[in-house]
Structure 1
Amino acid sequence: HTPHTPHTPHTPLPAPRSIMLDRLVQAYTPLICWTGLGILVVRFLPSTFPYWLGRGLYWVGVPIEIFALARQTVFDERARLAPTITVASLLLGLSLGWLSLQIWQKLPQQLEDPTPGIKGSLLLSSMLGNTGFVGLAIVPYFVSETDLSWAVLYSVTQNVFGTYGLGVLVSSYYGRQGTGTNRWWMQLKDLFCVPSLWGFAIGSLTRNLPLPQFAESSLHASIWVVIPGAFILMGIRLSQIQGWQSLKLALLPAILKTIVMPAIVGTVISMMGISGDPRLGIVLMSAMPCAFAGLILAEEYNLNGNLVASSIIVSTLIFLGMIPVWLYLY
């Protein structure tokens, strides 16, 4: 943050377009560079590296990031609306995916019904966004620290209610019908084992507990280690995707996730009186590309992994092009 200077004829304030351009450059540069690095170096890395990087980010990196954000972010009263908006957004994505699936099945050129695996994968991709690895790495470039709580609460709520709630239910319904392998206590166990949830809870409860300066500095610095790691992992995973034949079908959930859903969310919360950085943070979070968690669920419940993987590629490309649009509108 730069010191505030009064507006005088000799010290003109930067134009809004200049500010937007600076923010875009700051956001795109690490995303493109680190993701590109992941694509380039994957062939030189051990085959187990992506697995352990992903596990490390899931169990350690992202929870530490959320712990640090929960301690450092100012949670105003209005931010309590964020979980409600998140749940409504997830239900909206699920409804849009289901509606589009019904329409798609009735098209004249549709020669055969999609398999249950395709149906489940399409619904997952339409609903779940990458609010952890990508969202918490991108949104802080555009939203002030005082309003970052909206984005943090959105990410945590989606992990709990979305990925390990609706996501598991949808995957189980379409992937394990009649197998008897799904139990309610297994879902409950998964819910209480979400590391990001524990990071958020501990960070919120210890906000007033001072830590040594070294620990505070390390927490702040850890964010700038997690972000490159997340983007490198995204590049590695994108380079390994082999679902190119599903790219055409992936356009449907990708457009729903990155264009239709955030447009509806932005319109509704504007009508609710939410504006400024809180609105922008919510819109960006709802516009995040399809989540990598969808791949994990697709593999676990025998859905169509190629469709999920292709949706990640297409939605990521669309999201990069839509960021300036959401900045201009909100």
Structure 2
Amino acid sequence: MNNLLVLYFRLIILVLVGFTLGRKLPVKVTRYLGQVLFWVGVPISIVAFLRKAELSGEVWIAPIIAYLAVFLGIILVLIALKTKKCFTQTPLQKSTVGSFILTSIVGNTGYLGFPVTLSLVGDSYFAWALFYDLLGNFFAAYGLGVLIGARFSDRIQENWQIVKAILINPALWSFGFGLAFRELAIPDFFAALLDISAMIAISLSLVLIGMRLSQLNSWDNLPLVTTSLTIKMLLIPLILGSALPIFGISGQAAKVIVLQMAMPPAFATLVIAETFNLDPNLCVSTLTLGSILLLVTLPMWLWLF
């Protein structure tokens, strides 16, 4: 309970700081901060936390669970689209269907999932969150997510642009570097500096979320939004979380996986929607409401698991 209260304090304060800054500062500041975190902050934090994380053979199950979560999400989306009882727009536009699928399967397991995991579980099991995000959710977003964007878009995309976006991602490179050199001895001063830099990056990621939320102001198609969040933040973690013992996952590791599955939709869904001319308004509404809903669902998942 103490960890949860501390987490809520950090989440609310840092996101509010970002929200205030986002309202007052030019939009380009948000973009610059995102670039700094993307190229420097997140890679440093990955290397730092990998040095303290406990790695075992079981940790490689994390990305498998991530892919199962995506697969389950697609099944639930197809069921929802088939019933159409939750939608007010009939028939749904092709672009809206694409955004609906994206927000139902791609979670914010990095910028939001990492600080939540660190606060509630600690860094010993942080590798489970890293493996889930970088080897699972990342490819779901920029692999399958991009394919979905292209499938439901009227724009023609070059295949090399998709491959390039995946290959140049610094988080993947830092993940490989961190694994290769995690046992390398470094002076205590540099180790402490690395840890401080990582915590600053995690805090700035929450500020960035607030800045981005301050620039979102759309609440279109609320029934579709609530359906997407029900699939992404309730049904997927509940169903797969209950099945984790089948894979031999329990205790703190199971808690990390459930928390990652329960994250709200990622900002990557909005990026993909804008890139492929889908329905960015639906993504905006889902991102906003999902970020608020997380404050309600976190205690529930901690109690259940």
- Normalising by structure 2, report the TM-score: 0.95
Aligned to 1:299: 274
Of 90, 112, 126, 1:112 maps to 90
Task: Tell me, in whole angstroms, the C-alpha distance in 1 between the residues paired with 2:292 and 2:72.
Answer: 22
Of 274, 292, 296, 1:321 maps to 296
Task: Tell me, in whole angstroms, the C-alpha distance in 2 between the residues paired with 1:223 and 1:28.
Answer: 20
Residues 1:91 and 2:71 aligned together: yes
Greater CA drift, 236-245 or 25-34: 236-245
Q: Which 4+ residue blocks in structure 1 deviate beyond 3 angstroms?
A: 107-111
Of 141, 153, 178, 1:163 maps to 141
User: What is the CA deviation profile of residues 159-188 of structure 1, one whole-angstrom value per residue up to 9, with x for unaligned ones?
Assistant: 542111111011110013xx5x32333322
- Normalising by structure 1, report the TM-score: 0.88
Aligned to 1:191: 166
Task: Tell me, in whole angstroms, the C-alpha distance in 1 between the residues paired with 2:87 and 2:295.
Answer: 31
User: What is the CA deviation profile of residues 106-144 of structure 1, one whole-angstrom value per residue up to 9, with x for unaligned ones?
Assistant: x49756211111001000000000011000011111224
Aligned to 2:83: 103
Residues 1:121 and 2:109 aligned together: no
Count of aligned residue pairs for this structure pair: 305
* DSSP-derived class of the 1:131 partner: coil
Larger Rg: 1
Aligned to 2:39: 59
**Identity %, equivalent residues:** 33
Query: Which stretches in structure 2 are left out of the alignment for 5+ residues?
Result: none
Amino acid at match of 1:157: L
Shift of 1:309: 0.8
Amino acid at match of 1:162: A
Aligned to 1:150: 128
Q: 8 Å contact 1:160–1:194 — kept in the other structure?
A: no
Q: 8 Å contact 1:63–1:195 — kept in the other structure?
A: yes
Task: Tell me, in whole angstroms, the C-alpha distance in 2 between the residues paired with 1:211 and 1:268.
Answer: 41
Q: 8 Å contact 2:59–2:127 — kept in the other structure?
A: yes
Aligned to 1:76: 56
Amino acid at match of 1:120: G
Query: Which stretches in structure 1 are left out of the alignment for 5+ residues?
Result: 1-20
Task: Tell me, in whole angstroms, the C-alpha distance in 2 between the residues paired with 1:186 and 1:43.
Answer: 33
Distance 1:269 1:52, change over 3 A: same
Task: Tell me, in whole angstroms, the C-alpha distance in 1 between the residues paired with 2:213 and 2:222.
Answer: 13
Amino acid at match of 2:81: L
* DSSP-derived class of the 2:12 partner: helix
Amino acid at match of 2:62: A
* DSSP-derived class of the 1:245 partner: coil
Q: RMSD of the TM alignment (CA)? A: 1.7
User: What is the CA deviation profile of residues 226-245 of structure 1, one whole-angstrom value per residue up to 9, with x for unaligned ones?
Assistant: 12211111112112112123
